[in-house]
Structure 1
Amino acid sequence: MATHSQKDAYLYKKVITIGTVCELTGLSERQIRYYEKRKLIFPERTERGNRKYSFADVEALMDIANKMEDGMQTSELRKEMQRKEEKRYDTKLRERMIRGQLNAYFNKRD
């Protein structure tokens, strides 16, 4: 049985061209490049320098565009993204610590 991350791996695979992203999101290439320049989105580059995006990037771009439309500034969006990333990191760290404590407890009993 596939784990959650294996099952959703396609979401993060960078295979979509900027033209397709424009079609999916309704954003212009200029807008997408601006969000990249402002460090809100991080496409991969092919050997020829073409940008490649994932489905997760497409969702993020749509979220960014909606928040910008609502009046949010790119600096606010970047701070929000950093807070979310820190929270994810803290959660993963806490999970590893708990697993370590459980392993130590059960290994000590053997």
Structure 2
Amino acid sequence: MTDEEKTYKTKKVITIGIVSELTGLSERQIRYYEERRLIFPTRSERGTRKYSFADVETLMDIANQMEDGVRTFEIRQEMKKKPDEQKLRRSMIKGQLNARFGIQNEQRK
């Protein structure tokens, strides 16, 4: 993804302290979720973790699931499924639009 394709939601510009304030999670909890490969901050040249608003939303979701007793392993497994589900959803919508407007898929020609 190029910088031009990034939105405010995906740009990694928020420090861990601000994320902690926004989410109510401690910095230690946030680092733990990174260790468990649930969140993937970028690092500045000085090694400072940088998060996006999308990461903040992910952390809130993780925290809610943890409160409900879901283990980090289970959360990670669900997170792995999401890109496939999104790809399938996009494909279905594209197919519906193509059918609606009579556009043939290049693969079917």
Task: Give TM-score scaled by structure 1 length.
Answer: 0.76
Alpha-carbon offset, residue 103 of structure 1: 6.0
Distance 1:69 1:51, change over 3 A: same
2:54 aligns with: 56
Q: State the Cα deviation string for residues 84-104 of structure 1 (Å, max 9, x = none).
A: 1121233445649x97xx466
SS state of the match for residue 89, structure 1? helix
1:32 aligns with: 30
Alpha-carbon offset, residue 83 of structure 1: 1.1
1:41 aligns with: 39
Q: CA RMSD in A?
A: 2.5
Q: Which runs of 4+ in 1 moved over 2 A?
A: 89-96, 102-105
SS state of the match for residue 52, structure 1? strand
User: Could you tell me the percent identity over the aligned residues?
Assistant: 60
The answer as to 2:50 corresponding to 1:72 is no
Q: State the Cα deviation string for residues 28-70 of structure 1 (Å, max 9, x = none).
A: 1110001001111010111111100001101110110011011
Distance 1:104 1:55, change over 3 A: closer
Which of the pair is proportionally richer in helix?
A: 1
SS state of the match for residue 50, structure 2? strand
The one-letter code sitting in structure 2 at the alignment partner of 1:57 is: D
Distance 1:104 1:21, change over 3 A: closer
| Matches of 2:105 and 2:65, distance apart in 1 | 45
Q: How many residues align?
A: 98
| Matches of 1:45 and 1:26, distance apart in 2 | 22
The one-letter code sitting in structure 2 at the alignment partner of 1:39 is: R
Q: Which runs of 5+ in 2 are unaligned?
A: none
| Matches of 2:31 and 2:87, distance apart in 1 | 27
The answer as to 2:88 corresponding to 1:90 is yes
